[in-house]
Amino acid sequence: MAGAPTRVHVVTGGFPPGSHGGHDMDFARLKLLEMLYEDGNVRATTGNDFTDMWKWLQVTDVLITYTAGPYADDPQNEILRDWIGNGGCWIGLHGTSGGKAARLGEGKRQMVKMEHHETLGGFFINHPPIKRFTVDVKNVDSPILEGLPEQFDVIDEPYMIEITDRPNTDILLTAPIGPDNWPDFGFDYDEDTAIEDDGVTRVFGYTRGIGEGGVCYIALGHCHSPLTNSQPFVEDNAKDENGDNPRTLRFTWETDEYAQLLRNTLSWSRG
Query: How does pLDDT run across 130-166, given as a tens digit for each residue?
Result: 999 999 999 999 999 999 999 999 999 999 999 999 9
Pairing of strands 169-175, 160-163: unpaired
- Cα separation, 215 vs 208, in Å, equals 5
Report the range of poorest mean pLDDT among 106-110, 184-188, 234-238.
106-110
Q: What is the largest CA-CA distance in the chain?
A: 61
Residues in a beta bridge with 111 = 101
* Cβ atoms of 187 and 126 closer than 8 Å: yes
pLDDT value at position 271? 85
Give the confidence band of 105 by pLDDT, cuts at 50, 70, 90. Answer: confident
What would you report as the CA-atom Rg of the chain, rounded to the nearest whole angstrom? Answer: 18
- Domain residue spans of the chain: 6-269
Give me the mean pLDDT over the 77-85 stretch: 98
pLDDT value at position 90? 98
In which element (H, E) is residue 269 found?
A: helix 256-269
pLDDT value at position 107? 79
- Cα separation, 262 vs 218, in Å, equals 9
Of 202, 200, 127, 199, the closest CA to residue 172 belongs to 202
pLDDT value at position 70? 97
104 Cβ partners below 8 Å, 6+ apart? 110, 188
User: How confident is the model over 212-231, as pLDDT tens digits?
Assistant: 999 999 999 999 999 999 99
As a whole number, the mean pLDDT across the chain is 96
- Cα separation, 63 vs 55, in Å, equals 13
**Beta-strand (E) ranges in 57-114?**
62-68, 89-93, 101-105, 108-111
pLDDT value at position 1? 44
Under CATH, which architecture does the 6-269 domain have? 3-Layer(aba) Sandwich (3.40)
Give me the mean pLDDT over the 24-47 stretch: 98
Give me the mean pLDDT over the 243-261 stretch: 97
**Residue 63 pLDDT greater than 50, yes or no:** yes
pLDDT value at position 2? 63
User: How confident is the model over 162-181, as pLDDT tens digits?
Assistant: 999 999 999 999 999 999 99
**Residue 47 pLDDT greater than 80, yes or no:** yes
User: How confident is the model over 106-139, as pLDDT tens digits?
Assistant: 878 999 999 999 999 999 999 999 999 999 999 9
